[in-house]
Amino acid sequence: MAKIIGLPKLSPTMEEGTLVSWAKKEGDTVDVDDLLAEVETDKATMEFRSFDRGVLLKILVPEGVTLEAEVPVAIIGKEGEDITELLAQVASAGSASAPKSASAPEPASAAGSQPAPESPAVSAPDSPVAPAPEPAPGGNGGRVISSPLVRRLARERSIDLRAVQGSGPHGRIVKRDIESYAGPVAVPSRVSGERLPPEVRQATSMRRTIARKLTESKQTIPHYYLTIDCDIGPLSDARAAINSELEADGKKVSLNDLLIKAAAVALRRVPGVNASWVGKEIHYHQVVDISVAVAVEDGLMTPVIRDADRKGIAEIAEEVRDLASRARDRKLSVEEMTNGTFSISNLGMYGIEEFAAVINPPEAAILAVGTVREEPVVEGGQVVPGRRLRFTMSCDHRVVDGAVGAQYMAALKRIIESPLNMLL
Amino acid sequence: MRELRYREALREAMLEEMERDERVFLMGEEVGHYQGAYKVSEGLLDKFGERRVIDTPIAEAGFAGIGIGAAMVGLRPIIEFMTWNFSFVAFDQIISNAAKIHQMSAGAIKVPIVFRGPNGAARQVGSQHSHAVAPFYAGVPGLYVCQPSTPRDAKGLLKTAIRSNNPVIFLEGETLYGVKGEVPDEGVEELIPFGASRVARAGTDCTIVTWGRPYYVAMEAAEQLAGDGTECEVVDPRTLRPLDMGPIIESVRKTNRCVVVHEHWPYGGPGAEIVDRVQREAFDYLDAPVERVTGLDVPMPYALNLENEVLPTKERVIDAVKRVSYAK
Amino acid sequence: MGTPLPDKDDLLRQYRSMMRIRRFEEEAARNYAKGKIGGFLHLYIGQEAIAVAAVDALRDEDYIFQTYRDHGIALARGMSAKAAMAELFGKDTGCSRGMGGSMHFFDVERNFLGGWAIVGGHLALAAGTAFKSAYNGEDRVTVCFFGEGSTNIGGFHEAMSLAGLWKLPIVFVCENNQYAMGTPLERTSALKDLSIKAKGYAMVGDRFEGHDVTLVQQRIGEAVNRARTGGGPTFIEVLTYRFRGHSMSDPAKYRSRTELEQRKQLDPIQVVRERLLELGVQESELEDIDLEVDEEIDEAVQFAEDSEPARREVMMSTVYAEEGDS
C-alpha cells in the first residue's frame, strides 16, 4: 500500500531542513537505504535515504524548500497504485504546514497593536504605616544588620532590633548583644484609630497535630464530666513524710507524683475505666500506663509512665522528671509518647480550681487536677481549716457509664483521703 | 582496647575480610613481593599467596578496569593505588564505569569494589603527588567516599567498604599511616557504618567540622582554645558520601557558629557542600558567617616553608574560630 | 586452512538471525527519523555476520562485551526485539529499563555484559571478567568487541598488556569497519595490518574478512577454544564495513558512493542468501523467513510504542546497590 513519506529528523537537534535536491524522480524504483534526496540540516547536508521499498509515485515538494521535520515530501507505493486519497490527505494538511521558504514579512497582527497595559498606580506616599525608623548605627541606610540567630531570637522575644547596639563587624548585632540587652520589649506602636492586622504565623507541625487530635476527640467522643472534692491534707502529709525519708538521697517527690500513683491504683480497683473504644470492640487494658500532660514551648506533650500502679513513688517521680525535661527538649521517642491507657492533666500550679480536659484518644478518660485550696471546712459541726482539691474526670460514654465513672471517683477519693490505702 | 597504628588497622581490616571471604583479593603496584609501598599490605602475600595478593605493572587504568570487571561478575576486589594522584589515569574507569554500571544496567549488575590508597600531601613531594582528591570523587552519585581520620575508623570503615555492594573510594593519608590510636581488641569485630558523623570532642562555643589529616590540627587548636575558655565541638563526618549532616547541624544549633577545616582546595568539594548545608539547615541559628580553613588555592610547591603555608595550620583554625566568635 | 562446508539448517538459522538485526536496525532508523528515538543511534547494518558468528562460537555461560554499536550482538545473543526496541524508545520495558538507551544494552541473563560508550574503556572490564574465570578456575571465555578506532587509545594497550601478561581467557575482536567515525584507518594508524599488534602482547593474532558468517564462526571459534583450554588470549582483526554513517547524524561524506556500492556487493546477508540458494533452499523459504522477521520487528515497534515510559523510582533506586548479603 502506498504511503506518505515525511521529511525525517536527520540529527538529534534538527527541527527543519532544506530539501536541496532529489536523487530520484517520479517513477523510479526505490529500495531500503536508497538515496532519495539531499537535505541541509542544522549540522550538515545529510543524505535522506529511504526506509521503504517500492516506486516513487509522487514528489510533493520542489527542491530548495525549507520544511519542518515530518512534513510530507513524497509518496512511495506499488507501480500504478491509486494515490488520489493520499494526495487529498496531503492537501488538507498542507495549509497547516506550508513551506517556510517564502519568508514574506508577517502581517502585523491585531494582537500586536494593542496598547501596552497601564502601569500600576504608584503607591501613595502618605501610607498609614509607622514612621520611618531612625537610621541604624553604622550608617547602613536604615537596615538593621544582625545575624540570623539574632533575628530569630528577636522575633521570639519581641525585641525591636532597632534599639539594640551591635558589636559585630559593620555594627552587626550578634548573640551576645541581644543577650545583654535589657531594654523594653517592643510594643507595636499604634496611631490612634488605626487597626493593626493580625500577625500571621504558620502553625508548627506540633500545633497542627494537637489541632487534629483534639478536634477529632471532641467531635467523635461523647464526653461527660464528673467532679469530686477531696481532702488533700493526708496526702500532703504523706508527701512531707516521704520527702524527709528521701532527703538523704537528695530526692524529692511532688504531690503530682503521688496523684499519678493514686490514680493508677484506683484504676486497678475500677478497671472499667482503664479501657479503649476500638471500632466495634472495647479493649480492657491489662496494664496501667498513665499519660502525663506536659506543657512545652508552643504546645503540649504526653509522655507515658508505664505500669504506674506497680512502681514506687520515688521511681515515678524520677521518671516524670526525666520525661518532662526531655519533652521540653523535644527529645522524646514516639514510643515514649504513645499507648497510654489513662491521662492526668494538672493546672493546679496556675491556681485553676477545676477544669474539664479533652480526652486523649484512644484512652477513655482523663483526670483534670485543680489547685490545693486552703479554706474553712465544717467537720463534726466545727469549722476547721481544711486543704481541698477538686478533680474532674472527662469520660468516654461509649466505654465508661456514669455509674462506673462515679465508682472510680469514689475509689480515688478513698485513696487520697487515706493514702495507706495505696498499700492494700 | 589496644593501640594500633593506622596502617596496622588497615592491614587488619584487609586480613580479616580476606580470611572471611575468598572472593576478596588485593591488587595493585608493589602490594605483594615489595610488601606495599607504604607497608600497608605487609605480610599479606605470605598469608594469602599470589592468587589473592596480585602485583601489577604500572597500569592504573588497566588494573582498575580489571577490578571493576571482576566485581561485575561476583569477585570483591580491593584495588590499591600507590597514591590517589595516580588514580587520575584511571578516572574514566571509576567515573564512567564503576559509578555507572548499576544504574545503566537498571540494577542488574553490582560493582562491589574498593579503591584505596594514600591521599593528600605527604611531605615535599611536589604538586603532582600532593592532591587531596575528595572533591573529584565525592561529587559523583554511584560512589561512596570514606576518609577516616583515626586508626579505629580506618579499620571499621574499611571492613564496611569491603563488604559493601557498591564502589567505594577509600582515602587514607601517607602522613597518617604512623598515627597510633585505640582499636577494638582482637576478636571484637567493629563495622563502622557509612554516613555516621562522629562527635570527636564535645563543646559549646563553636563547631569545627574536619576530617583526614587536618582533624589532628583542629583537635590541637581546640585544646589551645579551651585554655582561653572557648570550648569547640569537633565533628568528623568520616564518610564524605554519604554525608551525615545530622550531628553537624545539631552541633551548630547549639554553638551558633561553625568552622570547616579540610585539606582540599577551597573551590567546591565536600567543604563547600557542608557550608551550603549548614547555612540552609541552621540559618536561624547562625550568629556569624560559616568560615573555612582549607588548603590554599595553589598547586602544591616543593619548598617546605611554602608547603606549611598551604596546608591548614593550628593558627589558621584558631583565627577562624575567633573570627566567628567575634573575639579579639 | 579451508572453510568447512556449512550445515544447511545452521545457515538458515544464521540467515534469520542476521535478517533480524538488519530489519531491526532499519526500523530503528525509521523511528529515529520520526523522533521516537533520541540521542545517538549507531547501526550495525553491514556487520551482521560477525555478531551472529561469534555467538555461535560461544557457550551460553561465556561473557560478551561490545561498544555502543551494540544492538546486533544483543539480538544475536537472543535478546527479544521488543526489549531492544523499547530501550531505544526509552521505555520501562526496555532491556535496561530506559536507563541505558541505544549505547547501553545489557542482558545479564545471557551474559551479554553491556554496550559501552567510552572508546577503549570496556576492554579492561572484559579482561576483568576473564580474570575472574582464571581466579575461580572456571573455563568461561570472555569475548570483547571494539572498533579499530579503539586501538589507538591507552585503554586498549593496558587491557591487552595485562591480558597477555596474565594469559587471561579472552578473545579481543576488533571489528575494523575502516572508519573511526569519519577518519579512515590510514590517517589514524601507522600499521595497516592491526593484527600485528598482538605480537607486542605475546598473544596470537588473526585477521580475516567479516562478510562470510561461516568463516568468521570458524576463526573466532579457534580463538575461543584456545582461551578455554589455557592457551591465553587472542587478538583478532575482522575486516568489515558499515553501510550507514557512524551514527544517525553522520552524513558519511568521507567515503565515496562508489566505494559504498562496491562494498555492498559483499553484503553478508546476500552472501548467505546466495549460499543457501546454492544449497538448494527455495527462494520462497527465504521470503517466508523475511516475512516472519518483518512481523517480529513490527510487533517490537508497536510494543515499544505502547509501553510505559521509564520510571523515576527505577532511576532513584539504582544509583546504589542495596547493601547486605555481601
Q: Write the pLDDT tens digit of every residue in A380-415.
A: 889 999 999 999 999 999 999 999 999 999 999 999
pLDDT of residue A115: 43
**Cα–Cα distance, B104 to B141 (Å, whole number):** 13
* Partner B contacted by A152 (CB < 8 A): yes
Q: Which of B283, B285, B326 is the closest to A174 by Cβ?
A: B326
Lowest mean pLDDT among A175-184, A335-344, B250-259, C306-315: A175-184
Cβ contact, residue pair B287, A147, below 8 Å: yes
Is residue C1 over pLDDT 80? no
- SS (HEC) of A239-279: HHHHHHHHHHHCCCCCHHHHHHHHHHHHHHHCHHHCEEEEC
Please name the residues between 266 and 285 in chain A that touch chain B, using a CB distance below 8 Å: none
Cβ contact, residue pair C317, B107, below 8 Å: yes
Q: Is the peptide bond before A362 cis (omega within 30 degrees of 0)?
A: yes
Lowest mean pLDDT among A148-157, A259-268, B239-248, C165-174: A148-157
Walk across the sheet containing A72-77 and list its strands: A3-6, A72-77, A54-59, A29-30
Is residue A139 over pLDDT 60? no
Cβ contact, residue pair A51, C248, below 8 Å: no
**Cα–Cα distance, A25 to B184 (Å, whole number):** 85
pLDDT of residue A98: 47
Q: Write the pLDDT tens digit of every residue in C45-86.
A: 999 999 999 999 999 999 999 999 999 999 999 999 999 999
Which residues face C112 on adjacent strands?
C64, C107
Sign of CA dihedral A8, A13, A15, A19: negative
pLDDT of residue A187: 56
- Residue B308 CA to chain centroid, in angstroms? 21
Range from A138-142, C44-48, C254-258 that averages highest in pLDDT: C44-48
* Partner B contacted by A397 (CB < 8 A): no
Closest CA to C67 of C91, C81, C47: C47
Q: What is the mean pLDDT of chain B?
A: 97
Q: What is the mean pLDDT of residues A216-224?
A: 93
What residues of chain A lie within 8 A of the CB of B283, using their CB? 148
Is residue A287 over pLDDT 90? yes
pLDDT of residue A313: 92
Crossing angle for the helix pair C8-33 and C213-228, nearest 10 degrees? Answer: 100
Closest CA to A358 of A369, A343, A371: A343
Residue C1 per-residue DSSP state = -
Chosen from B287, B322, B328 to mutate, greatest number of chain A CBs within 10 A:
B287
Is residue A122 over pLDDT 60? no
A interface with C, Cβ–Cβ below 8 Å: 6, 8-12, 32-33, 35, 43-47, 51, 69-70
Tell me the HSE value of B5 on the side-chain side, using a 13 A CA sphere: 13
| Residue of chain A whose Cα is closest to the Cα of C25 | A51
pLDDT of residue A45: 79
pLDDT of residue A128: 41
**Cα–Cα distance, A396 to A309 (Å, whole number):** 22
- State yes or no: ipTM above 0.90: yes
User: Does residue C181 contact residue C194 with C-beta atoms inside 8 Å?
Assistant: no
Backbone angles phi, psi at C4, to 5 degrees: -70, 155
pLDDT of residue B223: 97
Q: Which of A6, A12, A51 is the closest to C39 by Cβ?
A: A12
* Partner B contacted by A147 (CB < 8 A): yes
| Residue of chain C whose Cα is closest to the Cα of A31 | C26
Residues of A acting as catalytic residues = 397
Closest CA to A291 of A240, A337, A237: A337
What residues of chain A lie within 8 A of the CB of C248, using their CB? 10-12
Question: Chains contacting A with at least 3 CB pairs below 8 Å?
Answer: B, C
Q: Write the pLDDT tens digit of every residue in C85-98.
A: 999 999 999 999 99
pLDDT of residue B323: 96
Chosen from B56, B76, B104, B166 to mutate, greatest number of chain C CBs within 10 A:
B104
What residues of chain A lie within 8 A of the CB of B326, using their CB? 167-169, 174, 176
Min distance C247 CA to chain B CA atoms (Å): 21
Min distance C192 CA to chain B CA atoms (Å): 25
Closest CA to B27 of B7, B53, B59, B62: B53
Q: What is the mean pLDDT of residues B291-297?
A: 98
Is residue A201 over pLDDT 80? no
What residues of chain B lie within 8 A of the CB of C83, using their CB? none
**Cα–Cα distance, C74 to B244 (Å, whole number):** 42
Q: What is the mean pLDDT of residues A113-122?
A: 41
Beta strands in B147-211 (DSSP E): 168-172, 180-183, 198-201, 206-210
Residues of B acting as catalytic residues = 60, 129
Lowest mean pLDDT among A199-208, A377-386, B113-122, C70-79: A199-208
What 3-state class would DSSP assign to C308?
Answer: coil
Is residue A108 over pLDDT 70? no
**Cα–Cα distance, B9 to B26 (Å, whole number):** 16
pLDDT of residue C325: 74
Is residue A170 over pLDDT 90? no
- Cα dihedral B115, B117, B118, B124 in deg (nearest 10): -110
| Residue of chain C whose Cα is closest to the Cα of B241 | C320
* Partner B contacted by C277 (CB < 8 A): no
**Cα–Cα distance, A151 to B284 (Å, whole number):** 7
Cβ contact, residue pair C40, A69, below 8 Å: no
* Partner B contacted by C207 (CB < 8 A): no
Q: What is the mean pLDDT of chain A?
A: 84
Q: Cell numbers of B238, please?
A: 568520616
Is residue A104 over pLDDT 60? no
| Residue of chain A whose Cα is closest to the Cα of C27 | A51
User: What is the interface size between A and C, counted as CB pairs within 8 Å?
Assistant: 43
| Residue of chain B whose Cα is closest to the Cα of A175 | B287
Cβ contact, residue pair A176, B326, below 8 Å: yes
Q: What is the mean pLDDT of residues B58-84?
A: 98
Cβ contact, residue pair A10, C33, below 8 Å: yes
Min distance B225 CA to chain A CA atoms (Å): 19
Cβ contact, residue pair B69, C135, below 8 Å: no
Backbone angles phi, psi at A37, to 5 degrees: -160, 165
Q: Write the pLDDT tens digit of every residue in B91-107.
A: 999 999 999 999 999 99
